[in-house]
Structure 1
Amino acid sequence: MTHTYNISGMTCDGCIAKVSFLLKRTPHVKDVEINLEKGQATVTMDEQIATSVLQDTLKDYPKYQLSEGSRHSHIEKNIFAAQAEESKSWIQTYKPIVLIFGYISCISLITALSGKTFDIMLFMRVFMAGFFLTFSFFKMLDLKGFASSYAMYDIVAKKFSGWGYVYAFLELGLGIAFALDFEPVFVNAFTAVLMTVSLLGVFQSVLNKKKIQCACLGAVFNLPMSTVTIIEDGLMILMSIAMLSMYL
């Protein structure tokens, strides 16, 4: 038997994959087809499933609301949400990242100027520590949500579902390592490799023009994947290579 449900909150291909994945985990669900434009999910099941059960499947992601309400009212809501997203300016969309980079740059600059001369090595080390600690913090707020979003585009997470969880803790470890200046040669080399692997998935998604959510700040902010993400990862790679060359 097949039933069609309205689902609000879906805005991109990443949402389609996530909602489809969650619904397919429900017992007796055989297949799920998502129509993003209509905001609908067509669920094929081998026996009747209560709507409340399907709603419970999405409870960890409150932005997705499943219902059997009016199809037309739901479409209007979806169109309104899409128009609101499109009307956002660049600064409104990426405000969280701009603020984070601004604050980290500020504290890094103050620290680097604490001596008689500007210490570029200290600036980069503090910046890297702040970057990884801050970004891992947002991932930890919804670790499951981050892992799910990360698996939409990362080349490793696509093959190994647990990589998103590992990656969040690796960022935390790197942040602590940079803050303590622990084994700088190894840490910088490892960072360069890790961020390069991460960049490959981002690069593929941007080139293919996939409209998916960037997981750099976990599942807390709905940031679109774009060249901003490439610049962000690229900057970390360049800094780690620059620091590595100074140590060698």
Structure 2
Amino acid sequence: MAKTAKLYRMVMDTHVCPYGIKSKSLLESEGFEVEDHHLTTREQTDAFKAEHSVETTPQTFIDGERIGGYDALREKFGKSVKDPDATSYRPVLAVFAVAAALAVSLSIGLLDGLTIRTVEWFVAFSMAMLAMLKLQDVEQFSTMFVGYDLLGRRFVPYAYAYPYLEALAAVLMAGRLFPWLSIPIALFIGTVGAVSVFYAVYVQKREIKCACVGGGSNVPLGFVSLTENLAMIAMGIWMLLRAAL
């Protein structure tokens, strides 16, 4: 006998509930035949919520039992449910992974192999992507940034300027352009950042979120954040030595 489930979800001309779509897909992947009931008006949706004493849709019923929304459905099938307050290194690791892939691809395609240029591109691309994420909402970034950056705390305009400085240094370093400008920027923001992270995490032993991928992230301030700044310092020193040779 086929397993069946009843799903009630919002499907309107101006709004189709994404969690309703995901609930239907999840049920089907678990082998259920879905009785898909569309709530096509606000009045219909409000009446459904009042009837079943629920505050949200979609709602799934299996064998007459109300399971709940999408997260509840995932829990029923033994799947993980994301904690919105949980910290994760996934955003910054994703940046590093894509930057590395780009650097390797360009090196193989343009240079016929991996060279020191690959490492330069990796650091520059990582800096550029991290800066881009910060620039999406500079106000939110600066609010989180001043919570632990020693210079940003004392001179707030630096918190607003930081993403632009990081982006400028990254773009110039990627093309080895204007080293007289890119090197001091990288060394300065990298050093201040490294000292700030080390002080907050290893001296004060604070457990706070890092603004490295923007102000709305749940990346914990720690070793990865410190590594980002140390990489900027190393890049600046390398380019300084290279320019001196």
Q: Check whether TM > 0.5.
A: yes
TM-score by length of 2: 0.60
* Secondary structure of residue in 1 paired with 2:111: coil
Give the unaligned 5+ runs of structure 2: 1-82
Measure how far apart 1:162 and its partner are. Answer: 1.6
Indicate whether 1:115 and 2:111 are aligned. yes
Q: Deviations over 1:81-112 (max 9, x none)?
A: xxx579x6xxx811111111011011111222
Measure how far apart 1:139 and its partner are. Answer: 0.8
Residues 123, 231 of structure 2: 8 Å contact kept: no
Aligned-partner Cα distance in 1 for 2:187–2:107? 22
Tell me what 1:192 maps to: 187
Aligned-partner Cα distance in 1 for 2:168–2:111? 27
Aligned-partner Cα distance in 2 for 1:126–1:231? 16
Measure how far apart 1:196 and its partner are. Answer: 0.6
Residues 185, 247 of structure 1: 8 Å contact kept: no
Measure how far apart 1:152 and its partner are. Answer: 0.6
Tell me what 1:240 maps to: 236
Give the unaligned 5+ runs of structure 1: 1-83
Paired residues in the alignment total 161
Measure how far apart 1:202 and its partner are. Answer: 0.6
Q: Deviations over 1:12-41 (max 9, x none)?
A: xxxxxxxxxxxxxxxxxxxxxxxxxxxxxx
Tell me what 1:132 maps to: 127
Tell me what 1:173 maps to: 168
Residues 129, 178 of structure 1: 8 Å contact kept: yes
Residues 137, 214 of structure 2: 8 Å contact kept: yes
Opposite residue 225 of structure 2, the aligned amino acid is T
Tell me what 1:201 maps to: 196
Measure how far apart 1:185 and its partner are. Answer: 4.8
The structure number with the bigger radius of gyration is 2
Q: Deviations over 1:24-70 (max 9, x none)?
A: xxxxxxxxxxxxxxxxxxxxxxxxxxxxxxxxxxxxxxxxxxxxxxx
Q: 153-162 or 224-233, which moves further after superposition?
A: 224-233
Indicate whether 1:106 and 2:101 are aligned. yes
Tell me what 1:154 maps to: 149
Identity across aligned pairs (percent)?
A: 24
Measure how far apart 1:218 and its partner are. Answer: 1.3
Tell me what 2:212 maps to: 216
Aligned-partner Cα distance in 1 for 2:90–2:120? 24
TM-score by length of 1: 0.59
Measure how far apart 1:116 and its partner are. Answer: 3.8
Over the aligned positions, Cα root-mean-square deviation in angstroms equals 2.2
